[in-house]
């Protein structure tokens, strides 16, 4: 017979209530504000607008039995560029152990880009990014905190050039 906390169980083994609760995972963060929205243009100088937001820390008690953080980001993106220019929107995710320093878990990934094609190009839409962060032993014991970044970039200061990312909803769930 398998003891409490030992898996796998076989027919006839006792399933303890503490074990059943390990399989129930509540979402620990739902963020639907503008803290990491980024926008650049129109008529702005070439460059980038980078914004970030720290989500509420998740305690170690809420990470018992978890291996990953599932981070789901639903957002809107809009970009346009005119002849000879380009614009793009990107996301980055950092995670830290409570009391520690942030490190990139997901380096910047491009969500969309309007390329330099010689014509005016536009891209407007909704995007969803799902990322699984593998928890460290320290994060499980001491808790973890997620920081999300967006960056909007344009290559020239055309009156019709812009790039933006807008958070709709970000959800963090230990699994």
Check residue 24 and give its pLDDT: 60
Please indicate, yes or no, if residue 136 is contained in any of the structural domains: yes
Please indicate, yes or no, if residue 99 is contained in any of the structural domains: yes
Distance CA 48, CA 116 (A): 17
Radius of gyration of the chain (CA): 21
Please indicate, yes or no, if residue 13 is contained in any of the structural domains: no
Lowest mean per-residue pLDDT among 17-21, 82-86, 127-131, 159-163: 17-21
The sign one gets for the Cα dihedral 59, 62, 68, 72 is negative
Please indicate, yes or no, if residue 139 is contained in any of the structural domains: yes
DSSP strands (E only) in the chain: 29-31, 38-40, 47-54, 68-81, 87-97, 103-114, 121-134, 144-154, 162-174
Distance CA 162, CA 123 (A): 10
- Tell me the residue range of the domain where 157 lies: 27-174
Lowest mean per-residue pLDDT among 5-19, 58-72, 73-87: 5-19
pTM listed for this prediction: 0.84
Structural domain count of the chain: 1
- The pLDDT confidence band at residue 43, using thresholds 50, 70 and 90, is confident
Q: Tell me the average pLDDT across 60-78.
A: 94
- The pLDDT confidence band at residue 23, using thresholds 50, 70 and 90, is low
């Amino acid at each position: 017979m398998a003891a409490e906390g030992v898996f796998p169980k076989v027919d006839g083994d006792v399933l303890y209530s503490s074990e059943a609760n390990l399989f129930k995972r509540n979402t620990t963060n739902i963020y639907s504000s503008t803290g990491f929205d980024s926008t650049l243009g129109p008529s702005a100088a070439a460059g980038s607008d980078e914004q970030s937001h720290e989500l509420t820390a998740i305690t170690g008690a809420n990470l018992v039995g978890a291996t990953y953080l599932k981070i789901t980001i639903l957002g809107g993106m809009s970009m346009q560029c005119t002849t000879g220019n380009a614009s793009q929107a990107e996301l980055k995710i950092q995670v830290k152990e409570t009391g520690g320093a942030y490190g990139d878990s997901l380096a910047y990934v491009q969500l969309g880009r309007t390329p330099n094609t010689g014509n005016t190009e536009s891209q407007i839409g909704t995007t969803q990014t799902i990322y699984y962060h593998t928890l460290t032993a320290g994060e499980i014991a001491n808790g973890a905190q997620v920081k999300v970044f967006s960056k909007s970039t344009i290559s020239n200061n055309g009156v019709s050039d812009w790039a933006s990312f807008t958070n709709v909803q970000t959800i963090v769930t230990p699994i």
